[in-house]
């Protein structure tokens, strides 16, 4: 009996497209993005919001990288507001101060993007309490703290708003070494659904994205290039998402194109082949 070898044909979508230009989806909106320093989804989201016409405040715990990100964005979008607030999402007081400071600088807040999260790669049998607690505290508890602060703000000002959370397909899928991260992201999904039901009472929509893999330099620091390449090769496109592709979906969820959508988790994935 002869074995049949299945050859994977390279997808015509394997080459990333050019970044889509802005279309004014967030014109005049005031947007806050957490964990926006560096080269990842947070920075790309802040840039996309600016491309779509918003004024933005970015936050991160790393003051130097945050300042560099702010300078880069301000140079590209000189006619728009690009503020910065140092914030550690593990501290409730700092998260509350972020919302207060952003509202003061922007005049109001229309959109909060909860992007802060921490990963890693450790088998459960070898994982320490400290590793588990740190990933859960930043990724899930940090999203809770920022959501709570934003909802208190939106409830008080009574002009409605939008919150977009960054989850992950690992909230659904199983992957070795990712129990802490997957548990945290599944928690973000549940938090999104439950808080959305409550937030509807005062005109706030809350949704989440769940990217499969968006490769950027920071990701390579917490896992191996070999694993990232393997995961990307399993996608139907045979590649990881560009961070701007993830950011564009966040902008859509923050815009008036999704006014009848809340409590949902939108997967950003080309599906595993």
Q: Among candidates 189, 182, 240, which has minimal Cα distance to 215?
A: 240
Q: Which helix (H) or strand (E) holds 208?
A: strand 204-211
**What are the residues whose beta carbons fall under 8 Å from the beta carbon of 103, sequence distance 6 or more?**
109, 153
**DSSP labels, 132-193:** HHHHHIIIIIHHHHHHHHHHHHHHHH-S-EEEEEE--GGGTS--TT-HHHHHHHHHHHHHHH
Classify residue 21 by its DSSP letter: P
**What are the residues whose beta carbons fall under 8 Å from the beta carbon of 249, sequence distance 6 or more?**
209, 266, 268
**Catalytic option among 153, 181, 257, 260:** 181
Is 181 labeled as catalytic in the residue annotation?
yes
- 24 conformational bin, left if phi > 0, alpha if psi -120 to 50, beta if neither: left
CB atoms within 10 A of CB 110: 19
Q: Among candidates 122, 136, 3, 113, which has minimal Cα distance to 60?
A: 113
For residue 56, give the 3-state DSSP assignment: strand
Distance CA 249, CA 252 (A): 5
Classify residue 213 by its DSSP letter: -
For residue 205, give the 3-state DSSP assignment: strand
User: What residues are labeled active site?
Assistant: 181
């Amino acid at each position: 009996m002869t074995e049949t070898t299945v050859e994977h044909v390279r997808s015509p979508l394997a080459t990333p497209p050019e970044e889509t230009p802005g279309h004014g989806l967030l014109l005049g909106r005031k947007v806050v993005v957490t964990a926006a320093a560096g080269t990842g989804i947070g920075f790309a989201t802040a840039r996309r919001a600016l491309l779509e016409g918003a004024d933005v405040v970015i936050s991160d715990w790393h003051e130097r990288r945050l300042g560099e990100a702010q300078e880069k964005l301000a140079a590209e979008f000189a006619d728009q507001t690009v503020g910065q607030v140092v914030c550690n999402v593990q501290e409730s007081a700092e998260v509350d101060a972020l919302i207060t400071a952003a509202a003061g600088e922007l005049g109001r807040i229309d959109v909060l993007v909860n992007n802060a999260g921490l990963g890693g790669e450790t088998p459960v049998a070898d994982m320490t309490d400290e590793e588990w607690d740190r990933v859960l505290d930043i990724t899930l508890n940090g999203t809770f703290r920022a959501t709570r602060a934003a909802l208190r703000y939106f409830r008080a000002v009574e002009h409605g708003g939008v919150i977009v959370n960054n989850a992950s397909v690992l909230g659904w899928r199983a992957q070795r070494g990712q129990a802490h991260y997957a548990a945290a992201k599944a928690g973000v999904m549940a938090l999104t659904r439950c808080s959305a039901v409550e937030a509807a009472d005062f005109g706030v929509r809350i949704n989440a994205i769940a990217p499969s893999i968006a490769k950027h330099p920071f990701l390579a620091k917490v896992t191996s290039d070999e694993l990232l390449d393997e995961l990307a090769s399993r996608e139907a496109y045979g590649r990881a998402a560009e961070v701007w592709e993830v950011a564009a979906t966040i902008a859509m969820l923050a815009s008036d194109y999704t006014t009848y959508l809340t409590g949902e988790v939108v997967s950003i994935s080309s599906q595993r082949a």
